[in-house]
Amino acid sequence: MVKTKWKQYLAVTVTVGLLTLGAQSTPASAAQSVSAEQLTQGQAVAQTAAFSTTSTKKLKANHSSVSLKKGKSKTISLTYDGKKISGSKAKWTTSKSSVATVSKSGKIKAKKKGTATITAKYQSKTVKIKVTVN
């Protein structure tokens, strides 16, 4: 019978913002899958680690839709990753400038009856706000 002494096979250290596996580092938000095949004495321990990095940061607006009367306006505020950001940091566009316009700071102004979609883009994320003008 072979006696086997097993030692620590995998050291994982979690620090603020990073997950460290051996000499490799990856964002802490990464999904971790680790498997180890334990073999008899004198053989190596096979270890594999697979990481999937997906961004969980989201851009959100305080309204998903807005209904305005002609001539009225409303300012949209944004949050990114749960933190309020200045509307001027986002890029704003409208699908129909004849129905509703949007300023660089996120202020929507109703022009004439109809519907339009306002889009805010920040980092690589977008959020859309449906605008109905009565």
Kindly state whether residues 28 and 76 are assigned to the same domain: no
Domain encompassing residue 126: 59-133
Identify the pLDDT of residue 3: 52
Give how far Cα 56 sits from Cα of 30, 62, 80, 96, Å.
Answer: 10, 19, 10, 31
More confident residue, 69 or 8: 69
Kindly state whether residues 69 and 29 are assigned to the same domain: no
- Which residue shows structure tokens 């938000």? 29
Sheet holding 91-94, edge to edge: 65-68, 125-133, 114-122, 91-94
Kindly state whether residues 66 and 116 are assigned to the same domain: yes
| DSSP H/E element including 128 | strand 125-133
- CATH number, position 116: 2.60.40.1080
Identify the pLDDT of residue 117: 98
> What is the rounded CA–CA span in Å between residue 85 and residue 57?
13
Provide the domain count of the chain. Answer: 2
Domain assignment present for 26: yes
Q: What is the pairing mode between strands 125-133 and 65-68?
A: parallel
Identify the pLDDT of residue 51: 43
Residue 17 has pLDDT above 60, yes or no: no
Domain assignment present for 1: no
- The tens digit of pLDDT for each residue in 37-78 reads 444 444 444 444 444 445 589 999 999 999 999 999 999 999
Domain assignment present for 68: yes
pLDDT-wise least confident of 6-20, 82-96, 109-123 = 6-20
